[in-house]
Amino acid sequence: MKALVCGISGQDGAYLAKLLLDKGYEVIGTSRDAQISDFKNLTRLGIREKVWLESMALNDFRSVLQVMHRTQPDEIYNLAGQSSVGLSFEQPVETLESIMSATINMMEAIRFLDRPIRFYNAGSGECFGDTLGVAANENTPFRPRSPYAVAKSAAYWQVANYREAYGLYACTGILFNHESPLRPERFVTRKIVAAACRIGKGSKERLRLGNTSISRDWGWAPEYVDAMWRMLQGDRAEDLVIATGINHSLGDFADCAFRYFGLDWREHTDIDQSIFRPTDLPFGCGDSRKANKINGWKAETRMEDVIQKMIDAELEYEK
């Protein structure tokens, strides 16, 4: 089996590549310019030399078609695109193009090649918007409240349309928040963990956070890429919610990280109104019982264990 992983340099792309290699796949990864990208996450996982890398511009249909024709994949995982909700408010056009245009280019290329390629699209729990304290499932309507969520919602409907109109095996995993040591520090979870580690070792810095009352459903990224793979192994394509079903506030996340070092997070944190988002979801939580019923997937790692793993990796990385 041969898999094409678009966005292989990111957190999910790297973990997915490792999972696929372990399963015996030939893995091709793409980046806009593979010649200059450092692929540090692949190096960190020890798989940099085991992956075939290609340059591909997802917003350029010709580039997408050429790479897909040349590599002849059996499965395609679309994990690329601007991935920060906060940044999407500053770069709404780039966010929309890198997610929506890229997805339609890939779907069109699959249709053009007319091969039995199975396609996974990375969706997001952000698409649901404010669910008023109720865990979202596959029947919950989308009410996106950020440029990122709007783009992900549009991509979701594109995939559903191509599946229904042209009979493609194409599906979207609607994933809620999932973290790991491979997260860039611009993501608030890694930002908290990294700051807690430095402060725990004696740094006098202050951690700046936005709205700490928001709550999210945080899982462990390596488990979530397993869900992606499972979604392409079934008899028919189905969109599925992937989540732990448990939510915690951002304050709870910070408290857990700082307690590892015997510290009170409030004594080392400043709330900065300037980094509040124009609109933010007070609650985010997913119901993944359908995924468990269809392919046996279930989240095993809870937020406290995710934080422990991230701290252990952070401390090891700093040695």
Q: Which of 25, 148, 162, 224 is catalytic?
A: 148
**Residue 318 designated active-site:** no
Q: Which of 31, 63, 98, 124 is catalytic?
A: 124
- Rounded distance, CA 82 to CA 98, Å? 6
Structure-block tokens of residue 8: 């292989």
**Residue 124 designated active-site:** yes
Cα dihedral sign, 104-106-111-117: negative
Half-sphere exposure of 99 (CA within 13 A, CB side): 27
Backbone phi, psi, residue 314, to 5°: -65, -45
Check residue 72 and give left, alpha or beta (phi > 0: left; psi -120 to 50: alpha).
left
DSSP-derived pairing of the beta strands 215-216 and 2-6: unpaired
**Residue 148 designated active-site:** yes
The closest alpha carbon to 234, from 118, 116, 121, belongs to 118
DSSP-derived pairing of the beta strands 215-216 and 248-249: antiparallel
The closest alpha carbon to 136, from 146, 147, 124, belongs to 124
Q: Indicate the DSSP class of residue 141.
A: P
| Residue pair 45/75 in contact by the 8 Å Cβ criterion | no
Please list the residues that pair with 53 across neighbouring strands. 29
Q: Which of 31, 77, 120, 126 is catalytic?
A: 126
| Residue pair 176/216 in contact by the 8 Å Cβ criterion | yes
Active site residues: 124, 126, 148
